[in-house]
Structures are given as structure tokens and as C-alpha cells.
Amino acid sequence: MRSANTCRFDRWTALQLIIALKERYERAHAVRHLDRVPLEQALISDETFQAFLEFSERFFVVESVRFIRSVTMWKQGFSDARKSSAFRRARAKAIARAHVYHNAALEINISDAVREAIIAELSVGDSVPPDLFDAAMREVVSMLRFTIWLDFLRYRALNRRTNVVVAEGGV
């Protein structure tokens, strides 16, 4: 005779439980994986970029996120033989006008030495080196990595856990 408190699982219920646990594990693992990926590489993904951009608006650092994305995409252009030196230079100047120059619409927070070095490099010669924005990227990424990037990863993990609970009929 069974007691009233005995819990009986059928195969279907057990299978649903296993699938739910597997999905939770995969989501948690994906967030942990993002923590090990360099910030500038993580932002290549359109989904991650858009989510981080929306999150960064709360902390008034949208310009930094857009700068990282712009420079990362610009650097990828160096591997494309179809893009001329003049095109890369024009794109570099556009990035500098938007993010580096004083009073730029989306001015980033970098040291004056780095800012002046970029401006000086753009004012001479016909080509630009692929490492033109590297020092600025290091400063911006360092600032973001130790401020809102970790908060974003925690927020994303919490949001995914909450979505799992809601999808399973929880609160």
C-alpha cells in the first residue's frame, strides 16, 4: 500500500525534467563561456552586441560599446583585399570623428595622450596602421570589463534563469 506522500514519476515527467535541467545547464555554461571571451570578440555577435548596448544605456556608456564594435569591424576590414587603403583611412577618420575627437557626438573616455596620438596619426600619410585604435581599445575595454561587463553577465544569467522559471510555469 502506498502512502499519500509518495511521488510517482512516469517516463514522460522524467524526460521533461531531464530536458529542463539540460537547458538550464547549457544556458549557465553559455554565460560562463562569455566571461572567458574577450569583450571585443563577444561584441561581434549581433545578439550579444544588441543586449549589451541596451544594458549599457542604463550606465551611460553606450559610446564605449559602439566604439568597440566600430573598431572591431574596422580591423576585420584589413583582411579584406577588396577594401582599399583610402577606404580604411576614411573609415578610421569617421570612427575618430564620432568617438575620439574632443566634443565628438559619442566621445569616449580615454587619456589625452592616446587621443592625441590617434589624431596625429590620422593627420599624416595616406594609410593607417591596423593598430591605430589599439591603445584606446585597451583603455575602453579595461574600463568596461571591470565595471559593467561583469554586471551584464550576471544580469543576463539571472534573466535567463527567470525566463526558465516562467517558461516552466513558475512565478
Q: Structural domains in the chain?
A: 12-167 (1.10.167.10)
Say if pTM beats, i.e. exceeds, 0.85: no
Q: Cell triple for residue 99?
A: 568617438
Write down the pLDDT at residue 38: 74
Write down the pLDDT at residue 156: 80
Write down the pLDDT at residue 48: 84
Write down the pLDDT at residue 113: 96
In residues, how long is the chain? 171
- CA 11 → CA 14, 15, 16, 83, 169, distances in Å? 5, 6, 9, 58, 20
Q: Point out the residues of the chain with pLDDT beneath 70.
A: 1-12, 14-15, 22-37, 160-171
Write down the pLDDT at residue 60: 81
Write down the pLDDT at residue 153: 84
Nearest to 128 by CA among 64, 168, 78, 69: 78
Write down the pLDDT at residue 3: 53
